[in-house]
Structure 1
Amino acid sequence: MLSRDEEPLLSAYLDGELGDEEAGRVRSAIAGDRGLAEAARGLRAVAELVAELPRPPAPDLSAGILHAVRGRAARRRPARVAAWIAGGIAASAAALAVAWALRPGPSPRMPAPGPVLPTSPPAPAVASSSPAGASPAAGPPRVGAPTAAPAPEPATGVRDVAAIAEFPADRERLRELMDDPSLRRAFLITDRIGGQAESRVASLVEKAAHRDFYKVTVSQGIVFDPEHPGQATVFAVVVDEAELDPLRRGLEGEFGPTLEDIDLDPAVAMQLADIGQVVSLPARGAGDVAFPTEPMALRGPAGRRPTPEQERSSPAADLIVPGPAPSDRDARHARAAGGPAIPPDRERRLVVLLWVRRPDAG
């Protein structure tokens, strides 16, 4: 028996639109349900009556439509041809007018210029800027064109990020950096063919360091190191002790076995600022953040301290109030407290050289 939702399958079964499985279900339902069998017979009779109805032929409208289209096209064709002819005539007339206007004509004759008499007294002679030993037959003295005022040098520390030319102060700073005893480490990176190690090292240092660093380009033919002659690029980076290990791990993850920890000759380091092109590049890491390392105490306003009379009359005058603990970041406080002075932060910073060499450079 078919459910209410499956009753539309009966009409589809009579139209032959069901598959074998669904048609079998409908046949089983018709055989087991007398009402469904009556409904199927009624639908089949209706379909036969509809099929026997006369079908009058539809009127043929194509002849009239084609006649109207042909007549409309015949009326438009002469007007379109006339428009093309008129446009061609107008274009020809315009071309002839332009050619007539541009035709070469006789050039007007100008009268020959007569002699020009001087109307002003001669200018005073200008002292020559040539040396005293110059020959007098060299001609009249020349006055040089005024030179533009020299552009002011940029202030120290203000650099263009996209600049690739040398900055005079950078070479002096690099010399001081190479003379620093904190120069401890040097890493050698071999640039494989197409590896772009130079840009990868610069990007890594920009993210890892929070101080400006230096890029030194050693030209071809200058022997920077007898063991590795030729062209090379060296990055001089100033890092804290805590930043050295993260920088090394980043280099190992980026270059793997091509990274070597080498012993640097101090003489080679001192020559670095003199044999290459020095450019300072800005770092994009986080800045220095100093966190307090000692207990902090709340203090009241200085103007509300008790007077000597109040202290003598107060029962708490005999109490010994300890003063603030000396800061270990101040050498004077540390010496006053009896302990050794902690060196400034700059003495705990390290100078690291990252030397990128080409495969054919050593």
Structure 2
Amino acid sequence: MRSIGGMARDSGLSVSALRFYDRAGVLVPAWVDPVSGYRWYGPEQVDEARLLARLRRAGMPLADIRLVLAGWSSADTGLVRKLLEAHLRRLERGLSDARGEFSTLRALLERRERPMTMLRTATARMTVSAPELAAALDAVRFAAGTDPELPMLGGVLFDIEGDALHVVATDRYRMAVARVGTTGHGGPRVQVIVPSPLVDAMRALSSDDASVQLTVDGDRVALETAGREAAGQCLDHDFPDYRRLLHLPAGHRVLIDVRAFQKAVENGPVRASEARQDGVCGDLSVLKVAADGVTVCDEGDDDPDNVAVNRAFLLDALAAGARDQLILEFGGPTAPLAVRRTDTEDTFSILMPVRLEH
């Protein structure tokens, strides 16, 4: 007999997935301890679990998986073959339909005007408080992308409009935004994507003086202070319209003590995930939220309202908040989690959740 942990290791299914398939009646344990409720699996169920994992990776519906598992050990495998062939045909039709849709989308993109091109060829010059700029870059730098397939995310967006500079970074799984006041521009909107190495050089330059000069001239950006300069070419790409991503569903807003919560996340239980974020399968922290606080759940808590997030990403966001207290804003288990400061609505980060059930 194998425990649920041993079954997870041997089958490639997560513990939470095994619990889900038990509740769904797809892979029921051979025995459940009537006292502890702990699940135990027979040796013959390992092959079934591995088969189940393969079928789910192939996207087969649970209703068909039940029939495949029921017929797998039968002498007559005709039903299993028909189910596999039918699912393969569905996948092929779906791929064909997707190719058609993407061809249409490419044609639409080719005909669209690109307003970002105008924003990236404008000029602007302004004075910025060096400490405020340094704090803003610290608040967003952790969220910049590193995926070579998405070079437009490999830096920080400098979005200048009127007397405000918004700095924004995202790697798709998290996004961070901060606002800095400026003087001397007051003009139309200008946007440039500053590559991450240049962002780091600008951050180092902003650590000493009271103010710095920020200049954007087409595809070149420069930060100047007394006798020193950090300058270079901007990324020749368009950044996503981040403003459309800021409207989150209403939910719980919980004030947390950052140091105590960091310790709870660092030392609390984690769950492995098959979902990849930023190219990595990371440990998840599962959070239970109530009006009076947030706790890190143990392995046995399968409340469907719990929120699972990448633990490393959550710790990064808490550190970037740079405050003793922060607000965690939960919209639900599938809605982004927002980490906000208490003193301003203009500096915050957003983390995408990870579904625990497959």
| TM-score scaled by length of structure 2 | 0.18
Q: Which has the larger radius of gyration?
A: 1
| TM-score scaled by length of structure 1 | 0.18
Larger relative CO (CA 8 A, sep 6+): 1 or 2? 1
Higher strand proportion: 2
